[in-house]
Structure 1
């Protein structure tokens, strides 16, 4: 099982909403992920597979993780799904 970390600056509002949507997408599509969420400060200790955050935060963390996805609209499950599918296609293990 792969690991997704959903993170935002404070780990409260937007990452909580985004985690809910990511979890729904993962479940609906049987994607092989466990989903957790935290603050951006936790990213440096994250050794999992995929970080999902808001698009404007990607430049702050892209050199600290294996793979990062930036989401424009945290309520858009189609955007989340297509970006996770792209990840799965690019990172075949």
Structure 2
């Protein structure tokens, strides 16, 4: 596959929802062998993030458009199929 990419999973506070999302993303990355290194943080971390992808909730993703090259917004952080589909689309670009 391609070279290792870096992703930041962020939510407004960096607590519950982004931690749950990170667990799901890590599972999907392992299952698919995606070359993705995943970090976890808050929206404040977005400014200094020098990676390839930001993964967050859909309402936050709308606010981040233009601040990062690639932003994935997830509607349901418990839906692994949604997350997996969006990650596959990112790697297929």
- Normalised by the size of structure 2, how large is the TM-score? 0.94
Mapping of residues 22-33 of structure 1, within 5 Å:
22-33=25-36
Counterpart of 1:56 (choices 59, 73, 87) is: 59
TM-score between both structures, scaled by the size of structure 1: 0.94
- Find 1:38's aligned residue among 37, 41, 53: 41
Runs of 4+ in 1 over 4 A off after TM superposition: none
Instruction: Count matched residues.
Output: 90
Tell me which residue corresponds to 1:3.
6
Q: Which residue of 1 aligns with 2:76?
A: 73
Superposition map of 1:74-93 within 5 A = 74-90=77-93
Kindly report the root-mean-square deviation, in angstroms, between the aligned alpha carbons of the 2 structures.
0.6
Matched, 1:15 2:21: no
SS in 2 for 1:87: helix
Return the offset for 1:58.
1.1
Tell me the secondary structure at the aligned position of residue 45 of structure 1: coil
